[in-house]
Chain A
């Protein structure tokens, strides 16, 4: 039995846990990041709208609004250091009646009070100038140029990679199942029976933060999954907007949005329905109808024919609708980061800062690491290369010349790199490289990716999964006596 004892164990490798890990990597600490899935960012953080909110939707009295505004400001630097896709495209709230304009006025006041920079109330003309695809019936709205968009998984992957490069240990397929505190530290056991020790623990388990809190004897609370369905439309879709377009919000949610993605596709969604099952990922025909009916009201040229896929994720919501981030009053040296619903992605860098301060308050000694390197070397991607760059890369490494995914222009070299960095499932590779994420949804490249994974990892083809656990792709090899062509059978 190993006695390795970490200073901090972070449970959950979503945006929250990853940001905390990367923040703590700057100090002389032994940190471990524990994740139950086969890869990082397979929880809520992979299935969201990818918006870096501007910070006018919630009053500053809530913790989530304060962290949202702070988080928003941190993305330029993170983007420069880590290289994940991020663009400040701006956010528009489109009003279609004078009544709605009143809400816009209120949002403007709230945003100003929150300190959101450069907010602007717009006339109908100004709105249509900013976004020519808007329904001409728009009567006006709000413009927040500081809103932005990111690729959430690339963001989380980059945080984790950078944390690892600076000494943080990542353990995937480590589902925290049991924990005991013996006066000095926690002994934490995984479902599979692995064991580690840690003095302090951060609960960043997303939808399962309530269960993890219970395991550690922390506060009792219930996470309510609030499901959101989103629909992804192909590159160059007719409705692709310049900014993120919001309707005037309802009481509980921000409504159905029209969202450009950093990679040139677009999304419409999300819905918001409370569900029982934390793993409920189903999309429904009714919501598809509803989402498109609302989206075309704002951008009439949006077409359902351009849908390439749909997905859903559930926001981990706590009663009271705010984040709960604090030192536990019940479990020793246990930091809660629960109820991280929207805008959890936006807030995550500020959440990490906040948790770092809580850990310090809890007695953790923070000594800066002189060798901390905040940057990541860029990953070459054929999609982003000029012809001359591609020629040079392909001459050096022929695998850059092999385009494995035709829709998103992903080379074999990029897939090999993803595998080398620990993303060896179809979904992991898809999120890391975009192979299989385009219009054919893997129809052409799946067999190529499977073969590359098998070659690079030595796994038999049948052992390769879509996203770990029971998500195998191929059932079995054809028995030799059935291998013959069809003619023999006829």
Chain B
């Protein structure tokens, strides 16, 4: 089998993979990206709507436009890009990581790398995961698959559509389907509030008079060959009220009910997965429990904005560079744990004396909430947040001065981050 050596191999050529690889090659290290699809860009390539890059480029780009900026940089860099190539297996070793990759053009090859970046993105939660009862006809799609079929393949999946879940992807798809001539009969959301951002509620639903059923669930999918309809029921004390259930005749059901980090490859290699994020547990430099194996982007935890994906990936790239230069972090790291009303905080560790960036998800909806960082029980930082909700990630930074080292030989105190 052919073999190649790299300082770093990045798995996945989406926004995260490209941003990380650019950082590593920028420091002069031999870097490769392995991407299973025919081109770089990842999920961005099917997101042809506007709304990307406001933070990073200070302008509103479409997904492919955002991706194109990174792709151009990759193409003019020294990064080796393997397209149509799937990473089949990662074998961690003491001082190198071996990757078996496979593709129609590359054949089967072994890549040896000192560092590996996991940037495989995520997959969509599906009907089985939710356990929606009823029949199993054709015409049930995850929203991202429908987006791909419409925007890239050029086919409309159906004419009369019901969307389950009010996440941004579902909302964007409601408008997209309307524009390609399909009738969107409603968006059904189990929660009492929409999961997507307000702008999308207005611009994707209200502008087209698409009904949004909050606190409702689809209790059944009907149809023998093709979807023929769904039954929708309002929630009453957390359970569907069957007496007020009503049918909607439709030929297509779209599911926009969440994303799951795609970590089977990582798990197989022995990467430890956190049950709160569904992604790897990482240290302050975004390194997993396996030495030399890092993670960023949606494979680490599900992001809402690509701008933050790219930023996190760059920090991951910096972590890889530091590792390639000097090995694993020499000092003890402090633990970071979610406190009240917080689902998770990433990364799971911090380094005393160094700036730390955190992403977290709240478990509550609240106006004027307070973000509280406690260290060894006492509050070291507070910030007022105008509005928090689970669907919107919270990002913040703590400077190195605020995180002084603990007395010699003592493990650094742990941080607890809460939203109250």
A residues contacting B by CB (< 8 A) are: 232, 279, 281-285, 288, 304-305, 307-311, 387-388, 390-391, 394-395, 398-399, 401-403, 406-407, 409, 412, 426, 439-444, 446-447, 450-451, 461-462, 465-479, 482-483, 485-487, 489-490
B95 in the interface (beta carbon within 8 A): no
Minimal Cβ-Cβ distance residue in B for A476: B156
In the complex with contacts A474-B156, A476-B155, A487-B138 CB distance below 8 A? no
CA distance A402 to B106 in the complex (A): 10
Query: B107, A395: Cβ atoms under 8 Å?
Result: yes
Contact partners of A304 in chain B: CB under 8 A: 131
Contact partners of A309 in chain B: CB under 8 A: 126-128
Contact partners of A407 in chain B: CB under 8 A: 264
Partner-contacting stretch, out of B145-153, B284-292, B357-365: B145-153
Query: B62, A482: Cβ atoms under 8 Å?
Result: no
Contact count band on B: 35 or more
B375 in the interface (beta carbon within 8 A): no
Given A412-B104, A443-B144, A466-B137, 19 new contacts (CB under 8 A): A281-B136, A282-B135, A288-B133, A305-B129, A310-B128, A310-B131, A394-B107, A398-B107, A401-B108, A406-B86, A407-B264, A443-B142, A446-B141, A447-B152, A450-B153, A461-B155, A477-B155, A486-B176, A486-B179
Residue from A288, A440, A470, A482 within 8 A of B181 (CB atoms): A482
- The 8 listed contacts between A and B (C-beta, < 8 Å) are A308-B126, A308-B128, A310-B131, A387-B88, A401-B105, A440-B126, A468-B225, A477-B154
Contact partners of B181 in chain A: CB under 8 A: 479, 482
In the complex with contacts A308-B126, A390-B102, A489-B179 CB distance below 8 A? yes
Query: A398, B104: Cβ atoms under 8 Å?
Result: yes
Contact partners of A409 in chain B: CB under 8 A: 88
Residue from A442, A444, A470 within 8 A of B225 (CB atoms): A470
Query: A401, B156: Cβ atoms under 8 Å?
Result: no
Query: A443, B102: Cβ atoms under 8 Å?
Result: no
Minimal Cβ-Cβ distance residue in A for B268: A236
Query: A401, B104: Cβ atoms under 8 Å?
Result: yes
Q: Nearest Cβ distance between residue A131 and chain B, in whole angstroms?
A: 24
Interface residues of B in 68-97 (CB under 8 A from A): 84, 86, 88-89
Residue from B102, B131, B155, B176 within 8 A of A474 (CB atoms): B155
Contact partners of A447 in chain B: CB under 8 A: 145, 148-149, 152-153
Residue from B36, B138, B222, B226 within 8 A of A403 (CB atoms): B36
Query: A391, B179: Cβ atoms under 8 Å?
Result: no
Contact partners of A406 in chain B: CB under 8 A: 36, 86
Query: B131, A471: Cβ atoms under 8 Å?
Result: no
Contact partners of B138 in chain A: CB under 8 A: 426, 465-467, 471-473
Contact partners of B106 in chain A: CB under 8 A: 401
Contact partners of B165 in chain A: CB under 8 A: none
Contact partners of A282 in chain B: CB under 8 A: 133-135, 220, 222
- Interface 0/1 of B47-76, CB less than 8 Å to A: 011100000000000100000000000000
Minimal Cβ-Cβ distance residue in A for B221: A282
CA distance A274 to B340 in the complex (A): 49
Contact partners of B108 in chain A: CB under 8 A: 387, 390-391, 394-395, 401
Contact partners of B131 in chain A: CB under 8 A: 285, 288, 304, 307, 310
CA distance A412 to B133 in the complex (A): 32
Query: A401, B157: Cβ atoms under 8 Å?
Result: no
B158 in the interface (beta carbon within 8 A): yes
Query: A232, B128: Cβ atoms under 8 Å?
Result: yes
In the complex with contacts A462-B155, A471-B137, A486-B48 CB distance below 8 A? yes
Query: B62, A439: Cβ atoms under 8 Å?
Result: no
Q: Which of A279, A467, A471 has the most CB of B within 10 A?
A: A471
B328 in the interface (beta carbon within 8 A): no
Query: A474, B100: Cβ atoms under 8 Å?
Result: no
Enumerate the 7 nearest inter-chain pairs by beta-carbon distance, A residue then B residue, closest first.
A466-B138, A309-B128, A470-B225, A391-B108, A398-B104, A471-B225, A471-B138
B124 in the interface (beta carbon within 8 A): yes
Query: B179, A482: Cβ atoms under 8 Å?
Result: yes
Q: Nearest Cβ distance between residue A338 and chain B, in whole angstroms?
A: 24
CA distance A269 to B123 in the complex (A): 27
Q: Nearest Cβ distance between residue A259 and chain B, in whole angstroms?
A: 17
Contact partners of B123 in chain A: CB under 8 A: 439-440, 443-444
B224 in the interface (beta carbon within 8 A): yes
Query: B225, A483: Cβ atoms under 8 Å?
Result: no
Contact partners of B150 in chain A: CB under 8 A: 478
CA distance A288 to B128 in the complex (A): 11
Residue from A279, A281, A483 within 8 A of B154 (CB atoms): A483
Residue from B36, B49, B88, B220 within 8 A of A486 (CB atoms): B49
Q: Nearest Cβ distance between residue B319 and chain A, in whole angstroms?
A: 27
B383 in the interface (beta carbon within 8 A): no
Contact partners of A441 in chain B: CB under 8 A: 126-128
B219 in the interface (beta carbon within 8 A): yes
Contact partners of A467 in chain B: CB under 8 A: 138, 225
Query: A482, B180: Cβ atoms under 8 Å?
Result: yes
Query: B224, A307: Cβ atoms under 8 Å?
Result: no
Q: Nearest Cβ distance between residue A135 and chain B, in whole angstroms?
A: 23
- Interface 0/1 of B98-129, CB less than 8 Å to A: 00101111111000000000000001101111
B159 in the interface (beta carbon within 8 A): yes
CA distance A487 to B157 in the complex (A): 21
Query: B107, A443: Cβ atoms under 8 Å?
Result: no
Contact partners of B219 in chain A: CB under 8 A: 285
CA distance A282 to B156 in the complex (A): 26
CA distance A311 to B150 in the complex (A): 28
CA distance A310 to B123 in the complex (A): 19
CA distance A489 to B123 in the complex (A): 29
B251 in the interface (beta carbon within 8 A): yes
CA distance A254 to B135 in the complex (A): 24
Interface residues of B in 153-188 (CB under 8 A from A): 153-159, 175-176, 179-182
Contact partners of A474 in chain B: CB under 8 A: 149, 155-157
Minimal Cβ-Cβ distance residue in A for B155: A474
Contact partners of B155 in chain A: CB under 8 A: 461-462, 474-478
Interface residues of B in 213-235 (CB under 8 A from A): 219-220, 222, 224-226
Query: B180, A478: Cβ atoms under 8 Å?
Result: yes
Contact partners of B252 in chain A: CB under 8 A: 475
Query: A470, B157: Cβ atoms under 8 Å?
Result: no
Minimal Cβ-Cβ distance residue in B for A233: B128
In the complex with contacts A281-B136, A282-B134, A285-B131, A471-B104 CB distance below 8 A? no
Minimal Cβ-Cβ distance residue in A for B102: A401
Contact partners of B153 in chain A: CB under 8 A: 447, 450-451, 461
Contact partners of A487 in chain B: CB under 8 A: 48, 50, 62
